[in-house]
Amino acid sequence: MEESLLSVASLHALAYCERLFYLEEVEQLKLANAAVFAGRRLHVEIAQEEGDTVERLEFENGELGIRGAVDVLRTRGGTMIPYEHKRGKSAGSPGAREAWKTDQIQIGAYALLVEHSHGVPIEEGRVRYHADNITVRVAIDQELRTQVGAAISRARTLRESIERPPVTDNERLCVKCSLAPVCLPAEARFATEGRDDGDLIRLLPQHPQGQTVHVMENGSSVGRSGHQLVVRGRDEPDQKLPIADVGQVVIHGYAQITTQALQLCAERGIGVHWLGFSGSPVGSLAPSAPSAQRHLRQFRALSDSAQTLPLARRLVVAKLESQLRYALRSTRSEEGRAQSVAAACDRIRDALRRAAHAEAADELLGHEGTGAAAYFELMPTMISDDLGGEFTFEGRNRQPPRDRVNAILGYAYGMLYREALQAIIAVGLHPGVGFYHRPRSSGSSPFFCVIA
Ligand code: SF4
């Protein structure tokens, strides 16, 4: 089978960090951060500014195994010079400015493509750094040609692998990396080296400008007008939301969304979630990228109890600790705790102790259940008297919830589920298989559908 061509941009990523190349090229994870958006804007502006004098040309060559689009190709003194435009600053020191290694590889690869296409030797490429308004010359010498060849060869090897390369040793690269929210370098270092940097990045990638749009009123609908979502209420004027400002859309109850609006969300990788009347999750259309390699690794890891049990234990222990802490705090009083309250807290404590040493997932489920029963037994005690008796709790019930407390719980669980689902899908994992509960293949599981 013919190997697909590598993009020159992927060689730039490879020179930056092998893991970045793998995530983008092999796992097809793309997440544009502010810098990426700014870079795209720059290319549009250059094209607008330079008008007809610019040729942004697409090249590909099967022999080299690469393809790419040169920003600008100019002829100077009878020779052709490819230009690459960058938003940031150049490398080197004042008076001795140079192109970054990644940009050298990129312009070197473009030079080879132009050479093969036009049949003329290219001796020089140029990189324009807009932040310091400097154009740096890059010699297309033998050394750079060898480096480009080595990068292509390494990229091909990585493309065949099902293992993600490790995170880079140079942590400063991660700070500016657009894929840090899904690569999770701090977590990866924690997992492999036991290193806790104390400041783990947020698991759920935040949309740079995105807001969550909740459409709650029955009979309201979300439609599309150009690049805007239009929220139409029954008695309210239409609200127009530029799609660039939307992070995700949540449709509650019987609110509607049109096919045209769904298409716009799918095109922009914006998740759409449906919640039932009580806030229970019904389904999701979520942005992700399919990757057989990633799912294979996930399924392999999740079929090994040596990996899943410690994770499940930590999860249950964290939940029980949190329940105990909250129960103790909200039942504190000057008269001391009633005997029944103290006994329920003791049961959570005991479940916590046992869960920390559980030898099997079924055993953990038992301890989690014991803790949950004791916690919900305490719930009436934890509801403040200031609420005037409007909030009562006589046990957990759902679908439909029969009191206000259960309605709030159902709604909050639904929102939490949506956040967790989004986070799982955003890092490219399959949400149907986890490390604790057995996979559910039918019944009441909410559907999710991935935007390809
Ligand atoms: S976050 Fe760091 S390790 Fe991960 S892809 Fe980016 S640069 Fe590489």
By alpha-carbon position, which residue is closest to atom 4 of ligand 1? 183
Could you say which of 180, 201, 222 is where a domain stops?
201
Residue 233 is assigned to a structural domain of this protein: yes
Q: What atom of ligand 1 comes closest to residue 179's alpha carbon?
A: 6
By alpha-carbon position, which residue is closest to atom 3 of ligand 1? 167
Pairing of strands 66-70, 6-7: parallel
178 and 104 within one domain: no
For 1-32, the pLDDT digits (tens) are 446 899 999 999 999 999 999 988 888 776 65
Ligand 1 pocket: which of 22, 33, 177 to mutate (most atoms within 8 A of CB):
177
Residue 293 has pLDDT above 50, yes or no: yes
370 and 430 within one domain: yes
Cα–ligand 1 centroid distance for 187 (angstroms): 11
In angstroms, the CA 298 to CA 433 distance is 8
58 and 172 within one domain: no
- pLDDT of 1 reads 41
Domain containing 238 — which CATH number?
Answer: 3.100.10.20
Could you say which of 243, 275, 307 is where a domain stops?
275
347 and 445 within one domain: yes
20 Cβ below 6 A of ligand 1: yes
In angstroms, the CA 352 to CA 338 distance is 21
- Name the residue range of residue 21's domain: 6-161
Pairing of strands 271-275, 281-287: antiparallel
Confidence of residue 302 (pLDDT cuts 50, 70, 90): confident
195 and 218 within one domain: no
395 and 253 within one domain: no
114 Cβ below 6 A of ligand 1: no
17 Cβ below 6 A of ligand 1: yes
Work out the average pLDDT over 176-194. Answer: 79
Average pLDDT of every residue of the chain: 82
> How many domains does the structure of the chain reveal?
4
Q: What atom of ligand 1 comes closest to residue 173's alpha carbon?
A: 7
Residue 206 has pLDDT above 70, yes or no: no
Maximum pairwise Cα distance, the chain: 93
In the chain, the percentage of residues whose pLDDT exceeds 90 is 38
Residue 374 has pLDDT above 50, yes or no: yes
Q: What atom of ligand 1 comes closest to residue 183's alpha carbon?
A: 4
Residue 282 is assigned to a structural domain of this protein: no
Cα–ligand 1 centroid distance for 369 (angstroms): 39
- pLDDT of 48 reads 52
Cα–ligand 1 centroid distance for 124 (angstroms): 30
Residue 59 has pLDDT above 70, yes or no: yes
Residue 256 is assigned to a structural domain of this protein: yes
Could you say which of 179, 201, 223 is where a domain stops?
201
- pLDDT of 317 reads 94
Q: What atom of ligand 1 comes closest to residue 168's alpha carbon?
A: 3
230 and 182 within one domain: no
87 and 190 within one domain: no
Residue 69 is assigned to a structural domain of this protein: yes
Residue 419 has pLDDT above 90, yes or no: no
Domain containing 427 — which CATH number?
Answer: 1.20.120.920
Residue 286 is assigned to a structural domain of this protein: no
233 and 189 within one domain: no
Cα–ligand 1 centroid distance for 103 (angstroms): 17
Residue 283 is assigned to a structural domain of this protein: no
- pLDDT of 202 reads 44
Residue 44 is assigned to a structural domain of this protein: yes
Give CB contacts under 8 A, 24+ apart, made by 168-175: 168/17, 168/18, 168/19, 170/17, 173/16, 173/17
In angstroms, the CA 143 to CA 125 distance is 14
Cα–ligand 1 centroid distance for 178 (angstroms): 8
88 and 115 within one domain: yes
Say if CB 286 and CB 449 are below 8 A apart.
Answer: yes
191 and 124 within one domain: no
31 Cβ below 6 A of ligand 1: no
33 Cβ below 6 A of ligand 1: no
Domain containing 24 — which CATH number?
Answer: 3.90.320.10
Cα–ligand 1 centroid distance for 11 (angstroms): 15
- pLDDT of 225 reads 92
The 10 Å Cβ neighbour count of residue 197 is: 12
Q: What atom of ligand 1 comes closest to residue 178's alpha carbon?
A: 6
In angstroms, the CA 14 to CA 381 distance is 58
Residue 327 is assigned to a structural domain of this protein: yes
For 123-148, the pLDDT digits (tens) are 999 999 999 999 999 999 999 999 99
For 62-117, the pLDDT digits (tens) are 999 999 999 888 887 788 999 999 988 999 988 899 999 999 999 999 999 999 99
263 and 297 within one domain: no
Cα–ligand 1 centroid distance for 290 (angstroms): 20
Strand ordering across the sheet containing 271-275: 211-215, 246-252, 271-275, 281-287, 447-451
Q: Which residue has the tokens 């403040």?
A: 384
In angstroms, the CA 216 to CA 233 distance is 9
179 Cβ below 6 A of ligand 1: yes
